Structure 1
């Protein structure tokens, strides 16, 4: 079992119409990643795409991946590619449920947004996840 210190919340920084397959293709073909960026992606309808077993290391937060579970929702930008919380009610509900499950498995893990890690210069997940989920 990995020593999980963080549960990182991400956005894909894409339109909500982006597909999991296209996101994975980008990781492989443009970034050269062998492993997915996230363990879970939440689609606009609230459906979870489980991309990687939580025992394996994903590519979500450089320098922290070995101790982090990475969860993302599809979206996070407006039509001009500016950071915006675009979570649907279904995504919000699924994200909350999934975070609760992960927190139950890893009670000492800190839930925070990608932007809350040191030296991260991006708005991801386009909302204050640390504050929103502080009571979990």
Structure 2
């Protein structure tokens, strides 16, 4: 069987330590979903979409990988996390920007509430929060971010919800 006809067979997580929020790094004029992200991820060599959920600009939550499957969204942490991708996250110049819609933030809040019911001990983090602590001070600061993703501070946002 060649790569174009191969069927995705998931491996399953045995633990869920993190709920990781991402962005698609697309401009606010781009309304994409699981179909487009799957195409991008397959072009990068993934079997299928790396995220478990994608939240479109209108707030619609689309399911990607099965929730119980190991994702492909944050190096070193896929086997312990659920990946959620908000569509958007960069401006017209390609720079990080929190340009998500109110509908997306409402859908994110509802989805995180549901996921925390299923995984009560899981920590909610942004992708950037799993960057390495390069200076070893116990904090991950902007100068250490591998990516700006999801283009906002998830812990600050959570405190306002």
CA distance in 1, matches of 2:58, 2:31: 12
Shift of 1:44: 0.3
Aligned mates of 1:28, 1:10 — CA distance in 2:
18
Q: Secondary structure at the match of 1:133?
A: helix
Please, what is the CA RMSD of the aligned residues?
1.6
How far apart, CA to CA, are the structure 2 residues paired with 1:56 and 1:32? 17
- Select which of 2, 27, 32 maps to 2:41: 27
Q: Counterpart of 2:151?
A: 126
CA distance change for structure 1 residues 135 and 79 in 2, over 3 Å: closer, same or farther?
closer
Unaligned runs of 5+ in 1: none
Deviations 1:50-97 (A, max 9, x none): 011111011110010000000011000000110000110000000000
Larger-Rg structure = 2
Q: Superposition pairs for residues 18-97 of structure 1, below 5 Å? A: 18-20=31-33, 21-29=35-43, 31-97=44-110
What TM-score does the superposition give when structure 2 sets the normalisation length? 0.79
User: After alignment, is 84-93 or 32-41 more displaced?
Assistant: 32-41
How many residues align structurally?
Answer: 135
- What is the TM-score of this pair, normalised by structure 1? 0.92
